Each structure stands twice: as structure tokens, then as C-alpha cells.
Amino acid sequence: MVKSEKQDVSQTIVGMEAPEFKLTTIYGESMRLSELRTRAVMLNFWASWCGPCVEEMPTLQAYSEKYEQDLIILGINADEPRSDVVGFVEQHSLSFTILLDPDSRIQDLYSIRAFPTSYFIDQEGVVRAVHIGSLSESLLVGYLEKIGVGK
């Protein structure tokens, strides 16, 4: 019962402003979500031990390159050691921004209960879609269109 209530919380945020947060990249740079206004943003909550997360990384990388002028993908890691995350990023040749959430505070703020979970935020900072689970390329394309990317 509690799990479904928590998942419902993530769906009720659609149409509302994305909750603000400040996190640090794997390279030690600080980043606030509100600093990214005027660009579409995808938040992807993931973990290196999550098979579906690993499977969708090449697609996320490809779309971060394809739409680099219009889209910012932020991969928010699930409380793993920085050294492990850096190793994963290097192994998978990821160039989109990876953020560390060492105390799971942002995961809690966004009611993350399963990995991967993705939030799609438009240029005004409004959440337009939430997807729990792995993203196929066709699903990703559809969600990106909802935030004005690739139309």
C-alpha cells in the first residue's frame, strides 16, 4: 500500500514546477536545477547495479548528443561511492552530466521508489511526464516531444 501511494506522488507532480535541488557533479561542480531554465531537462535516477539502467545508458548518451543544444540530461546516481560512479561513467563513455545524491535526499524529494525513473521537465521548469522503468528509444522520443525536444 505504501509503495503505490509513493508512486502516485510522482505522478501528481506532472503539471507542477519541478522541485528545486542542488547537487554536485562527479567532478565536484555544484549545480542547481533552476539554473537550467530555458532548456528542457531530463532527470534520470539510476544505479550502476540496475540492469535496466545500464541498458538505457547508450540511448540516453545518443540523445544527449543529438539534442545537445535543446536538452540537458542529468543522471542522478543512487547513493553509490563517487569512485564507483566515475568508473561506470568512464566504462560506458558517458558525457552527459552525472550528479551524486549521497544521502538520497533528492531521490526522496522526487519520490523515487524504482530504478530507473525519469522526469521530463520543460523550459519553464514544469514537469510534463514521469516514467518509471526502462525507456525504449520510441518512449524516449515521445517524452522528449512533450518537453519540446525533437518536434
Mean pLDDT of residues grouped by 10 in the chain (151 residues)? 46 89 96 94 97 96 96 96 97 97 95 96 96 95 96 71
CATH assignment, 2-146: 3.40.30.10
The CA distance from 147 to 123, in Å, is: 7
Q: What is the pTM of this model?
A: 0.91
pLDDT of residue 10: 61
pLDDT of residue 12: 72
Print burial letters for 89-128: b (CB count within 10 Å at least 16), e (below 16): beeeebebbbbbbeeeebbeebbbbebbbbbbbbeebebb
pLDDT tens, 91-114? Answer: 999 999 999 999 999 999 999 999
Q: Where are the domains of the chain?
A: 2-146
Closest CA to 119 of 33, 6, 10: 10
Q: Cell numbers 521548469 correspond to what residue?
A: 125
The CA distance from 121 to 42, in Å, is: 6
pLDDT of residue 79: 93
**Cis omega (within 30 of 0) on the bond before 116?**
yes
